[in-house]
Structure formats: C-alpha cells, structure tokens
Amino acid sequence: MRTTTPTSRRRALVLGALTATALTLGACGASGGASAGNGNDGGSGSGSDGGPVSIEYWHRLPSVEGAKSVDDLVAEWNEDNPDVQVKATALQGAAADSYPKIATAVEAGNAPCLAQVGVDRVPDLLSTGQLLDVTEQASQYEENYLPYAWSRATFDGATYGIPQDTGPLVLYYRADLFEEYGIDVPKTWDDFRAAAQTVKEHNPEARLASFLPDEAMWFMALSSANGAQWWGIDGDSWRVDIDSAPTQEVAEYWQGLIDEDLVATTPRWDPSFDQALADGTLVATVGASWEAPLIAGSAPDTAGKWAVAQIPMWDTGKPLVGEDGGSIVAVLNGCEQPEAAVAFADWLNTNVEGLMPLGLFPATEPPAEGFATPETLVEFYGGQEIYDEFAAANEAVNPDWSFSPTTGVTLTAIQDGAGQMLTGGPTLPEIVADAQASSVQSLEQAGISVAD
C-alpha cells in the first residue's frame, strides 16, 4: 500500500486531497456565513434583510420545442413560493466547460447555491472543496429517489445534492430491419455477436452497431454492466481496479468484433453516425436513456421503425446494467440557504412531468402505473412505451459502482487511446491497462492514497 495521507475515515480520503487552493475555497465558503447543518437561516423563508430568499441554479438543461423550459418551471416555483425566489441560468458551451466556471465562482465566493453536476464529477468537486454537506437538510428527501441514484449524491454517508436524472444503457434497434433479417432481440452478448454476423451477411454495407471511440463513459458503462468496479475504498486508501477481469472481458469482446469487422467504429458525435442511423447502415446502437430523443432527431424519416430493449447480458441470471450519464443538482460551497436550496432541488427533480419532455429520465422511483413516455417518443418508437424499458434498466444498474476524484483523467486516457486504436494504436485490452496506470497516477498526484 502506498499511503501519503493515512486517515481513519473514508470521507477524509477525498477531503484529504484538498490542495491549498481547495482549502482557500473552503475558507471562502465559511466567509459567506453559511455551512451545511450549522443552523443557518436557509429555508426559513426570509433572507438576512427579512426579504425573500434568493437561490441561483446553474444548469445545462436544453430547451425543447413544445415543452416547458427550465425558466417556465422556475416561474411556477417562484409563484408558489414567494419567500424563496429562484433564478435559473443556462450554462453555454461544452459540458466540460461548465466545471471550470463552477470552480472559479466557488473560489471567488460568488457561486450559485445550486449547479447541475454529472454524476461522474461529484467526487472531483468534493475533493476540491466545491460541494457543501447538506445531509441534515436533504435527508428528508432520500426516499423520493432510486437508492443507486441517491448514492451518486453522497459520500461516506454525507449528502451533497439531490439526484436529477439517470442514464441507464439500453439497446435501440431498427425493429423493421431485425424482422427483415430474421434477427431476434439479443439477450446475451453471444446473441449480439451472432446478430452482427447476420446483419453483415444481409447487407455488407451495414453493421449491427458501432464501437464508440469518443465515448469513454459508454465503455465504462459497458464494463459496469459486466460487474466491474473500477474504484472503491480499501481501508484508508482508494482502490483502483480498472484492469480487472470483467473489464478485460468487455475489452476483448469488442476488440474481437472490431477485428472481425462485425461492428463499425464510427464516433458517436460525428455526423456520419447520425447519417448511418438515418440510412439503415447502423441497425442498432447501445446507448443511454437520454439518447432516445437524439436518435429521433437524427433519423426522423425512420419514425415508427425503432424499438428499445434491454442490453444483452453477460449472465442472464444476474442482469446488470451500466450508466452512461446522469446528474445531480449539487449544493455548492458558500451557499447561504442550503435548506431552501435543497427544497427547490427536490421540487424540481420530482417534477417528472416537467423534466421528462426535456429528455431527462428521472432519478425518482417510478409511480405504480409507470412513467408515461412522451407522445412524440411513443410515435417514433413504434407505439412502444420506452420509458418502461428505461425504468427496468434502472432497476438493474450496478449498485456497487462508484466514481473517483479523478474520473475525468481516466476517461480522457481511454478516449485518447481509443482514438489512437483507429489508426493502428493500442488495442482495447492495452487501453484498459493504460487506464489503470493513468488512474493510479492521477490519484497519487492529487495527494490521494492508493492501495496496491
């Protein structure tokens, strides 16, 4: 075991990585007169001047034609809660660009109370002192959410926000082409390989699906669906287990499909991917729940021909699904009204009728009758209530998965390696081994103890 900062508590494993900058951030939050659980007047219904409490919320939620916008939802809250007024600000640019903005704002002491944060970035923001412990204020809302989704907003029993959405993997497929080619929906990855061979035999220009070299989190989700646990806590240290048997099995499987030319290697965010969905040369794709409206938008002329199923399983007796995406509404360090902030976040994130038309699949427990799929998606997916499939996938998400404080570094290493693979670089199994080394190195460079 290489230990740089031995501690007795798991939480200290992350907080122990605080750099001098992060310590400054913590001081900044304290100077604002607020900290979680300190009895501040957050949620009391009045600010320090006796007027309404003001809460700002930074987000990256889209505007969708025909759906209520985030501003519309906030207006509804503000009308019903005159003592807690919320202002929503949509962050522009790439998702990764939002995190430096959040960090800068927290450091400057002018951060909003709330910000939408990807589940993979929560440990990172926690380790750098950007999140506020709101366990006391948030615990009353825990039962509203799926246990695994709630765990993405917590660390060592402390809560730092409210789950917003989830991204379980499912299989999107062209039902008409499956029928034409005589393919049953694959239940196992062996079935998936056989289906890939059948597609190629029927149409040499088509492939069943694509390995996505620009989607490292997608590969991580596939590994999670095979029971991998890339990160965890081992005593007083972090454990890194990326180069493990489950992940190598996934890597070798997809490397085999690539080597046999049974799948494409089209990047997910290249226009050619959308074109292949539209012209039928990609017959299926393994994707997160949030991709449902994207696929509909990419291939509008194929409306009514698509369907959704569970992803193939490695062990049908023990179904597991990985998550590609998902977010929480995090409470940022320096928030002076944590109780009001989490009250609004819970109201927003349980407002499933408002969020689902924006393409979010809720992190909440589904109602007895199930979530109603938006009509536009029902029409595109051949009349199927695809949200039932998403809910079923959520029930099978790997509950033991956790992210690390340097998840982003690992994902970048995998994505860079996958890009090189396309031009004769390392194989997927080699990329996995490299990712292991990269993750260990990044954690140690951050001053975090890593177990051998």
Give per-residue pLDDT as tens, 391-439: 999 999 999 899 999 999 999 999 999 999 999 999 999 999 999 999 9
Which residues, 6 or more positions from 383, have their beta carbon under 8 angstroms from its beta carbon? 304
- Report pLDDT for 7: 31
CA 310 → CA 62, 68, 194, 218, distances in Å?
26, 30, 17, 15
Strand, helix or coil for residue 87? strand
Please report the pLDDT score of residue 14 as a whole number.
Answer: 55
Check residue 5 and give its pLDDT.
31
pLDDT below 70 — which residues of the chain? 1-50
Q: Name the 3-class secondary structure at 378.
A: helix
Say whether 265 sits in a helix, a strand or coil: coil
pLDDT of amino acid 51 = 80
pLDDT value, residue 49: 63
Handedness of CA 375, 60, 347, 386 (dihedral sign): positive
What pLDDT sits at residue 359?
82
Measured CA to CA, the distance from residue 329 to residue 331 in angstroms comes to: 7
Task: Work out the burial of residue 423: count CB atoms within 10 Å of its CB; fewer than 13 is exposed, 13-18 middle, 19 or more buried.
Answer: exposed
Q: What's the confidence (pLDDT) of residue 46?
A: 58
Tell me what pLDDT residue 13 has: 53
